[in-house]
Amino acid sequence: MLAVPNPRPARAERLDSIDIPQAAKDEGHNGSATYIAEVGADGKLIALRLKESSMSPAIDAAVKAQAEKLYYFAATDKDGNKIVGTAEVRGAYAHYDRRSPGGGLETYTCGDLVREWDWFTAANAGRRKLFWPHNAYTSLASIEAMRSGISPDRKSMLNSRQKREKMWADLIKRCRKTPAKPMLDEVEEPDAYRRLMESF
């Protein structure tokens, strides 16, 4: 077994999933938060500092609560001595994400989509943040073309995205009228869309 070279940064156990209060889910909260964990030479957590907020107090608090329970591994210097270091901890919640408790596209309705889309676009106005169902939908045609061995040029990709932006706006309008309908029923290529969503 090969020895891990020194120096090494501090590391954190992976945070698999978080849950948030039902009231926040009902409002459509979704997104990710990243904390910087200061880790002692003994491998114990010293402090957490919010690096990037999800813009949801519920998600930020849930990620912090889970980060406080993780196992941490101390950093080392060039001689292998354990020292204080920092590690990033990231956690996310979204109803469309199968890794979130009760989440996944199989049960994702038009009503769920509208709630999460409206909340995300309002909370992240002016920020360069991606709402994954939207990004996957507007990129789908170009990505499927590349999967088929076609390499569309930049202009073709931009034209495709503009066309699908309008299709997305129409999809949101339809979903506002039929909140109980499965969201995937409104997607013209549900299997390809699901594959792309689950690859993120």
pLDDT digits (tens, 9 = 90+) for 80-103: 999 999 999 999 999 999 999 999
Give the 3-state secondary structure of residue 83. Answer: strand
Q: Which two tokens stand for residue 158?
A: 């931009």
Its pTM stands at 0.90
| pLDDT tier, 27 (very low <50, low <70, confident <90, very high otherwise) | very high
Q: Is the pLDDT of residue 152 over 70?
A: no
Q: Please, what are the domains in the chain?
A: 1-93 (3.30.2420.10), 95-200 (no CATH)
Terminus-to-terminus CA distance in the chain, angstroms? 32
196 phi-psi bin (left φ>0, alpha ψ -120 to 50, beta other): alpha
Environment class of residue 148 by beta-carbon count within 10 Å: exposed (0-12), middle (13-18) or buried (19+)? Answer: exposed
